[in-house]
Amino acid sequence: MLLLTGNKPSQDIMKEKSLVLYEKLLRIEDPYWREYIIKPRQTQNGFIQKVLDIRKDPGAGVFSHFFSFNAPAGFIGTAFDGEEVAIRIALKQLLANHHKFENAVLLSDSQAAIQSISSFELPLTPEISHCQELLSTLTVKGKRIVLQWVPGHCGLWGNEQADFLGKRGANLLQHPNTATSYWKIKLFLKNLCTSNSLRDLQTRTALKSWRRVSPSSIADKPRHDAVAAFRLTTGHDCLAAHLHLLGICQTFLSTMRFWRSNEKGPLSPMWCSSRTY
């Protein structure tokens, strides 16, 4: 459990904690990887290293001493699909070259793909089922295959090569008849609606007086408080009207207009929530 205290924004604290955890992961001493910095090498304690990387376009890249491949991941796909394609390609090539190794480890930065393939539950997609069948076949042949999660872009040897191959795979022509699952179409439509809504909002607010208000000027608070802060910043609040009814303010104009007409110094908004009116 992480307890957030102090005046720092939660985003900054989470970034600091993530960096600390990242450094700890890199410093973990494991008997399999103590000689990892020794280059060049083909195996390390009997394990062939495969580095996988994907992009959101999506594309897949596989890099190893034995082979290197890149491929597109589908007409409508996600980063998860790219990772599945990369793992499936690696397993197929390992099966084709099973006489050249005994143990192999596939390094991937996608925990979702690793957990889906390693799960004993019903596979979500035919691609996951195919990967599980390949793993079973390699196991029957006496091979030990390990799916290992690693942080993305953490300096592991071969990571940049796999990233380059993933970019090349993303630029390849996607097959238009690629089978697409229901949840991928649902996610695609959701992202499309979100982008269209944002574009529509930008068009509708293009002539507003507050169109250039920086989002950073609105405090990172709960929605109720953030709405009140936005109204005070843009001059759409009702604070002046309430103060006018109470006899405190001489005008019912918005607070921002009242300050602009009566204050000669810099503007200093009063951050408050509508629940205190």
pLDDT computed for residue 249 by the predictor: 65
Look at residue 274 in the predicted model and tell me its pLDDT.
38
95, burial (CB in 10 Å: exposed 0-12, middle 13-18, buried 19+): middle
pLDDT: is 267 or 3 the higher one?
267
pLDDT at residue number 271: 39
Q: What is the pLDDT of residue 125?
A: 76
The rounded distance, in Å, linking the Cα atoms of 208 and 77 is: 37
Predicted confidence (pLDDT) at residue 44 exceeds the cutoff of 50:
no
What dihedral do alpha carbons 96, 147, 22, 110 form, nearest 10°? 80
In the chain, pLDDT over 90 holds for what percent of residues? 0
How much is the pLDDT for 174? 67
Question: What is the structure's pLDDT at 57?
Answer: 57
Specify whether the backbone of 60 is left (phi greater than 0), alpha (psi in -120 to 50) or beta. beta
Residue 141's nearest CA partner among 104, 107, 99 is: 99
Out of 8-22, 40-54, 63-77, least confident range: 40-54
Domains of the chain: 59-171 (3.30.420.10), 219-246 (no CATH)
Q: Name every residue whose Cβ is closer than 8 Å to that of residue 145 and which is 6 or more positions away in sequence.
A: 91, 94, 103, 104, 105, 106, 135, 138, 139
Residue 235's pLDDT is 65
Rg of the chain taking only CA atoms, in angstroms: 27
**pTM higher than 0.75:** no
**Average pLDDT score over residue span 214-226:** 73
Q: Residues 80-116: pLDDT tens digits?
A: 777 888 888 888 888 888 888 888 888 888 888 888 8
32 three-class SS: coil
User: Is cis: bond before 58, omega within 30 of 0?
Assistant: yes
Of 38-52, 108-122, 252-266, minimum mean pLDDT range: 38-52
Q: What is the pLDDT of residues 177-217, one digit of tens each?
A: 566 667 777 777 888 888 888 888 788 878 777 777 766 66
pLDDT of residue 128 exceeding 80? yes
